[in-house]
Amino acid sequence: MRPDQLLARIATLDLLEMRFPENRCWGRNDALDPALSRAVDDLRARLEHANRTVYDSIRDEIRRGDQPQSLFHWVRLALEQENSGAQGYSLLDEIISGVLQFEEPQGEPPPISLEMVAYQPTPARHIFAMIQQLEFTPQDVLMDLGSGLGHVPLLVSICTNARSVGVERDPGYVKLARQCAQQLNLSRATFLQQDVSDADFSTATVFYLYTPFTGSILRHVLDRLRQEARGRSIRVCSYGPCTATIARESWLIPPRGAHSPEFQADQDRILIAEALPRCS
């Protein structure tokens, strides 16, 4: 199978999953013909093996510390295939999950309070758009507040020269994020198992929040970020429902060059804001 047909293979695997779900318990009347079942399993295995070959070669490129040109190539192609109004997860998330290869989290997650939000990753197309807009320098440190499996810090580390830190309260996710960073030699990405309320913000220059919490916890964290902005310049990026609150913060403004109408809480886009210089 040809490496250049990755996207077609992912689409075919999706179709197979829709038509012949792997974990479906077939009833007596709709059980698959054994020959068809074997053919589907065989096709699925061959497609997955071919994709794995592509993902492993991208992983080798990342491990060597090179700019992962083959990953950028697939990201470009996947984004071209998406229509501009695409929402939710897509082909690109499939590719990123093939490259990062997380294991299944083990154990029960710690209980969450009413104001905390359970894990869900940011759709990959938004992460790439944010990375492009932020134009990171080697002096930047991105901190993902509530980092889950770590997609954002990991991709920042893969695609830029900046450092990144994930802060996450669930030890299961932190373990898997660290494992991924280690397997890919991403020494600029670190993960702290901590409540965001206890985290040290002093080294980060860019903060990212995909609605990890709401209400009084969000208020407390935004007040701490505002304190940070008194002494130095920081940027704050957010996605999901907490964006409406963040867009109303008077000490945050659109990034230089952006028009103010762009500084709106958009349901399906990451908001990027700069702190007003020496805001009080």
Ligand X SMILES: C[S@@+](CC[C@H](N)C(=O)[O-])C[C@H]1O[C@@H](n2cnc3c(N)ncnc32)[C@H](O)[C@@H]1O
The verdict on 251 binding ligand X (CB under 6 A) reads no
Among candidate residues 217, 216, 215, 275, the one with its CA nearest the CA of residue 249 = 275
Q: How many CB atoms lie within 10 A of CB 71?
A: 22
Per rule CB under 6 A, count of chain residues that contact ligand X: 25
Would you count residue 211 as binding ligand X (CB under 6 A)?
A: yes
Which of 59, 125, 163, 169 is in the footprint of ligand X by CB under 6 A? 169
**What's the CA gap between 117 and 171, in Å, rounded?**
16
Distance CA 261, CA 142 (A): 26
Span from 35-43, 90-98, 118-126, 184-192 in contact with ligand X (CB under 6 A) = 118-126
Q: Does 152 engage in binding with ligand X (CB under 6 A)?
A: yes
Decide: is 212 part of the binding site for ligand X (CB under 6 A): yes
Specify the stretch interacting with ligand X by CB under 6 A; choose among 24-32, 78-86, 166-174, 258-266. Answer: 166-174
Q: Does 105 bind ligand X (CB under 6 A)?
A: no
173 sits in which H/E element: helix 171-183
CB of 81 vs ligand X, minimal distance in Å: 22
Instruction: Classify 70 as helix, strand or coil.
Output: helix
Q: At what angle do helices 91-100 and 124-134 cross, to 10 degrees?
A: 80
Task: Report the distance separating Cα 201 and Cα 235, nearest Å.
Answer: 12
Task: Quote the least distance from Cβ 148 to ligand X, whole Å.
Answer: 3
At 164, give phi and psi (nearest 5°).
Answer: -145, 150
The least CB distance from residue 175 to ligand X, in Å, is: 13
Q: Binding to ligand X by residue 122, rule CB under 6 A?
A: yes
Q: In terms of DSSP bridges, do strands 271-275 and 235-239 run parallel, antiparallel, or are they unpaired?
A: antiparallel
Quick one: which of 121, 158, 160, 272 contacts ligand X (CB under 6 A)? 121
Q: Which residues bind ligand X (CB under 6 A)?
A: 116-117, 119-122, 144, 146-148, 151-152, 167-170, 173, 195-197, 210-213, 217
